[in-house]
Structure 1
């Protein structure tokens, strides 16, 4: 007998204790993605809303944008540094706005990205290291400088993001 789908819930995972032990002895070093964060968010938004990306992961410090596309869901593509900001970058991708049963509605994608921006830049000690959103399963993923990883259904994300 097939089980009904399990309701997703907020999952917090603690990682390497040595990172947590020295969290207050570090500070964020600005990256290319930090310096061009508004353009990064605009590119990510366009990829998700207009070019068929259903899962986007931003690695802020290493300047990587990793994407999974509807038309090739079993492979991810990694875009690095200046490549993301190159003229015509978005032109290489076909227009795709098809999403069957997305869990994250298109209208909230910009708000999610705005929160990622804020969480990356607000504090120099406790900051967002990487962030992801998956429009199909509705999960927001975040890893912070204190080595805490969170996987949160997008509806809970909006209820709790002010506490981050």
Structure 2
């Protein structure tokens, strides 16, 4: 495979600080959006407290990816301590301090970043790495060598603090959000069935335009 000429994934192997992409959903859902009022959920009733927990998980625990289901209260997490697993939690459970302390291992952002780099170094030295093409191996070595910081803490705080505002947009509202530290992206699905995918860096621009 020629890596120089191939089409890249929208969010995938590399890091794109300028990523900002809108994906259209089912047109019939967009047309009927004003006829479908939002039902108050347990997330809505506790959104500020829950967002504090989400931020804490991203900054101070092993969580590097979190999916926030604002409609149904389903919270999916991926941790550096169990990287191939996806845990599913109820929003109401995350509001209980004892639950959080017993389910999430503590680690600061810098050490979490260092651990991810070590995982990739282990992979590069594993015999299975040779299953990849020479071009892929070369690209992987270069990506891992130049791997950037997981996330800017100020950008991350800004994102989490503004999720409630996106839940309360006039007519449109946020249904779910995926925050990923590894490639510094956020993906947001709205009630019109559209999806917005962007880098953490571009999120502020999005908020300033639409909120």
**Normalising by structure 1, what TM-score?**
0.90
RMSD over aligned CA atoms reads 1.9
CA offsets 1:63-98 (integer angstroms, 9 cap, x no match)? 011111112222111111321212412211221112
Query: Residue 200 of structure 2 corresponds to which residue in structure 1?
Result: 154
Which has the bigger relative contact order, CA under 8 A and spacing at least 6? 2
Query: Residue 183 of structure 2 corresponds to which residue in structure 1?
Result: 137
DSSP 3-state at the match of 1:54: strand
Greater fraction helix: 2
Of the candidates 86, 90, 93, which is equivalent to residue 80 of structure 1? 90
Whether 1:39 aligns to 2:86 is no
Query: Residue 107 of structure 1 corresponds to which residue in structure 2?
Result: 154
Work out the number of aligned pairs and report it.
163
Conserved? CA contact 2:15–2:183, under 8 Å: no
Unaligned runs of 5+ in 2: 5-12, 114-147
Shift of 1:5: 4.1
